[in-house]
């Protein structure tokens, strides 16, 4: 079966006043249909850039991206807008609801430019709200009258109202307490059980644990769980050695004058080994 997402050797390079800055460095990622994937990474790692490309909000500088078998890098802006409206749903940390509009109207918003008559739009919104478990007595409330967890459920319903194949969620529990966050994650699990593909960005390992698989992004590159564990273990070992004043082989950093700045190429290579960086 054709994967929901297949991105190969994708680079995203931004031109700034300081020169060219790569945000993604040859990223390759495949997501199966119906899979629940979590993407974890620290601030500035490139995860938002990756999400923008996967969500057809941006294009890679180079590489290919096939969404449900379609090479979206070749599509026009109008075609991309149609893909976003018909095949993708988005859930954000800040909810992005219209505060003075009712819950029902907020969920109907993505259907404004559809060919559906108003009555059918309202019915679709009502069904989406029922699917996320929001009680009917809230449907005519303004969104600013709801709790954080209720607002996030409304945001998920809005993402579902077009019956998208893939849902992208960017830190969807970031503004919620633990219990409410678990309710929201349970909603995503139910969406997956109905055949939706879920791609979630988070910095929280407990949230990522809800997913079928987790990948890590660091400095614009993707790593598996095992690769990330090895990276963190090596980092911890280097930090422990630095605290003890020792290198990887147990030699004291201050024991030899050969590590002074003027000690020559051999010392530079040894210093680089201790610091875990390439010798220049």
DSSP code, position 98: -
Residue 129 structure tokens:
């709200």
Residue 276 has pLDDT above 70, yes or no: no
**Tokens 């629940």 found at:** 36
CB atoms under 10 Å from CB of 16, counted, come to 7
**Tokens 């029902």 found at:** 104
Q: What is the pLDDT of residue 266?
A: 56
Residue 201 has pLDDT above 60, yes or no: yes
pTM, two decimal places? 0.79
Task: Give 264's pLDDT tier (boundaries 50, 70, 90).
Answer: low
246/243 Cα distance (integer angstroms): 8
Q: Is 152 helix (H, G, I), strand (E, B) or coil?
A: helix
Q: What is the pLDDT of residue 255?
A: 42
Q: Is 54 exposed, middle or buried (0-12, 13-18, 19+ CB in 10 A)?
A: buried
Q: What is the pLDDT of residue 275?
A: 44
Q: What is the pLDDT of residue 22?
A: 94
- What is the average per-residue pLDDT within 81-110? 92
The pLDDT tens digits for 108-143 are: 998 887 888 989 999 999 999 998 989 999 999 999
Domains and CATH numbers, the chain: 5-228 (3.40.50.300), 246-280 (no CATH)
In what side-by-side order are the strands of the sheet with 213-218? Answer: 88-92, 166-170, 197-202, 36-40, 213-218, 221-224
184/149 Cα distance (integer angstroms): 7
The pLDDT tens digits for 231-246 are: 778 888 888 888 887 6
CA 248 to chain centroid:
35
The pLDDT tens digits for 33-48 are: 999 999 998 888 999 9
Q: What is the pLDDT of residue 6?
A: 97
- What is the average per-residue pLDDT within 157-178? 92
CA 228 to chain centroid:
16
Cα-based angle 25, 27, 32 (whole degrees, multiple of 5): 170
Average pLDDT score over the chain: 86
Strands (E), the chain: 5-16, 19-31, 36-40, 62-67, 70-71, 88-92, 166-170, 197-202, 213-218, 221-224
Task: Give 267's pLDDT tier (boundaries 50, 70, 90).
Answer: low
């Amino acid at each position: 079966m054709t994967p929901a997402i297949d991105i190969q050797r994708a680079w995203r390079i931004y031109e700034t006043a300081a020169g060219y800055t790569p945000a993604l460095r040859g990223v390759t990622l495949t997501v199966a249909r119906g899979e629940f994937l979590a993407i974890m990474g620290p601030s500035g790692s490139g995860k938002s850039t990756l999400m923008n490309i996967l969500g057809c909000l941006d294009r890679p500088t180079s590489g290919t991206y096939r969404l449900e078998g379609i090479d979206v890098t070749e599509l026009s802006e109008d075609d991309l807008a149609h893909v976003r409206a018909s095949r993708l749903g988005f859930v954000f940390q800040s909810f992005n609801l219209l505060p003075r509009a009712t819950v029902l109207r907020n969920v109907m918003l993505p259907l404004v430019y559809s060919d559906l008559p108003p009555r059918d739009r309202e019915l679709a919104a009502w069904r989406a709200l029922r699917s996320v478990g929001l009680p009917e007595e809230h449907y005519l409330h303004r969104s600013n009258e709801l709790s954080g967890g209720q607002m996030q459920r409304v945001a998920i319903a809005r993402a579902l109202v077009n019956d998208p194949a893939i849902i992208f969620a960017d830190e969807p529990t970031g503004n919620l307490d633990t219990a409410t966050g678990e309710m929201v994650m349970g909603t995503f699990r139910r969406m997956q059980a109905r055949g939706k593909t879920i791609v979630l960005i988070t910095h929280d390992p407990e949230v990522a644990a809800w997913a079928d698989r987790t990948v890590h992004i660091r400095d614009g590159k993707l790593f598996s769980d095992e690769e990330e564990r090895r990276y963190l273990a090596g980092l911890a070992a280097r930090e422990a050695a630095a605290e003890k004043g020792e290198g990887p082989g147990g030699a004291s950093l201050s024991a030899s004058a050969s590590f002074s700045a003027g000690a020559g190429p051999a010392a530079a290579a040894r210093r680089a080994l201790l610091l875990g960086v390439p010798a220049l």
